Amino acid sequence: MTAFSSPRPFVYADHRLACSGVDLAALAEEFGTPLYIYSADAIRERAGMLQAEFATTPHTLCYAVKANSSLAILRMLAGLGCGFDIVSGGELERVRRSSPAALRAVVFSGVGKQTWEIDAALHSEILLFNVESEAELEVLSQRASLAGKTARIALRVNPDVFAETHPYISTGLREHKFGIAIERARQVYRHAATLPGIEPAGVSVHIGSQIRSVEPFAQALQRVRSLVEELRADGLSIRYVDGGGGFGIEYGSQTFDAAASIAAYAAAIRTVIQGLDVHLLLEPGRFLVAQAGALLTRVLYTKQNGAKHFVITDAAMNDLIRPALYQAHHEILPVQEPSPETPGIVVDVVGPVCESGDFFARDRTLPELRAGDLAALLDAGAYGLSLASHYNTRVNPAEVLIDQGQVRLIRRRETLDDLFAPELF
């Protein structure tokens, strides 16, 4: 396991920003910018932390594919023994293409599963459907019966637990679209047990994303534990508890202690489920990949409007939308290390997209950046390219994976021909 002195693998070496010993300026020269860069070593380190903390608990890490759906990263995680949490038929196909054997360790979440997606998951014999409504349960029963299959299910229960996070990624309250109210769950399970093609096998909960306190997880799982005990009293064989994902990181911190944070998280969960005799499913996404990635960009221009200073980069909101969508903070480092005497300047770092919302930082104090300089937006390994778009008819960046100092292109840069290929006129 690689030991990093900071929460991120991006550090200065010989006055140039590097990832696992590889000079980012050299990557820009070879692959161009914008460019997503990921450290395989850092991803392995984070997966190892979680697996070590739950070593005494029967468990499977079902990586949340939506966080970063690169086939190369999925294949690597499957090789580390991970399963996968998916929310679409497309993500199911990504698992199939990266590691067919891992299909048996897939949990299928999401409030709007289409019949073709359900059929594909049934034929793939996935581990578990996380059912989010009574209507979905009926459709799943019909599709399973038609296919001659049995669908193992867990109801995703809504425990009405508040988690302090951005409102767009909070999912555990009554007013959210996700899950079934925990007060109704016992009744719904009783009905599920009578449906053809349905095997109630677990209980699922997911209260949100980017949660940095362990208490909400413990509260939610305590309510799940009580429900499991009630369901077993009803004669149901509940073997799985899916604790969801959502454990967060510190985007702005250079001193984030990932090992200590995950130890506290794991201890809280182990305490709640102790003696329950279940197989624990966890759905980490951001924690595994966010700080392993960065978006490398080149400064196109600088300008001043009145008192405002702008740094305009070749990366834009279509490449990394988190600052615009969530008002998220990403550290920005120049690739050439500034001297300690270099004065800072207050700037907005913006992209070329024709929207005022196209920014990466506002009123941020940074070392002076000039046209042609390279900069890295850190902690971009999660919800970066997976949330990218082609807005303004911009092509998606390339991706490279650095594994023990070896660089591998895992996604080529798109071309305009790629963009226009599906269109008919």
Domains (range + CATH), the chain: 10-39+291-413 (2.40.37.10), 110-282 (3.20.20.10)
Using DSSP, state whether 163 is helix, strand or coil. Answer: coil
Q: How far apart are CA 188 and CA 401, in angstroms?
A: 45
Q: How far apart are CA 310 and CA 347, in angstroms?
A: 5
Give the pairing of strands 359-367 and 398-403.
unpaired
Q: How far apart are CA 206 and CA 214, in angstroms?
A: 13
Q: Compute the half-sphere exposure of residue 344: CA atoms within 13 Å on the CB side of its CA.
A: 9
Of the candidates 394, 317, 381, the residue with the CA atom closest to the CA atom of residue 349:
317
The type of residue at 293 is: G
Q: How many CB atoms lie within 10 A of CB 29?
A: 11
Q: 164 — alpha (psi -120 to 50), left (phi > 0) or beta?
A: beta
Catalytic residue among 19, 62, 82, 354: 354
Q: How far is CA 155 from the centre of its chain?
A: 22
Length of the chain: 425
Q: What is the pLDDT along the chain (425 residues), one digit of tens a residue?
A: 344 435 689 999 999 999 989 999 999 999 999 999 999 999 999 999 999 999 999 999 999 999 999 999 999 999 999 999 999 999 999 999 999 999 999 999 999 999 999 999 999 999 999 999 999 999 999 999 999 999 999 999 988 775 554 454 444 445 566 789 999 999 999 999 999 999 999 999 998 878 878 898 999 999 999 999 999 999 999 999 999 998 888 887 666 788 898 999 999 999 999 999 999 999 999 999 999 999 999 999 999 999 999 999 999 999 999 999 999 999 999 999 998 888 899 999 999 999 999 999 999 999 999 999 999 999 999 999 999 999 999 999 999 999 999 999 999 999 999 999 999 99
Q: Report the DSSP beta bridge partners of residue 39.
A: 402
Specify the residue for token string 């770092």.
349
Dig out the tokens for 318 from the structure. Answer: 């279509």
pTM for the whole thing?
0.93
For residue 354, indicate whether it is catalytic.
Answer: yes
pLDDT for the residue numbered 46: 94
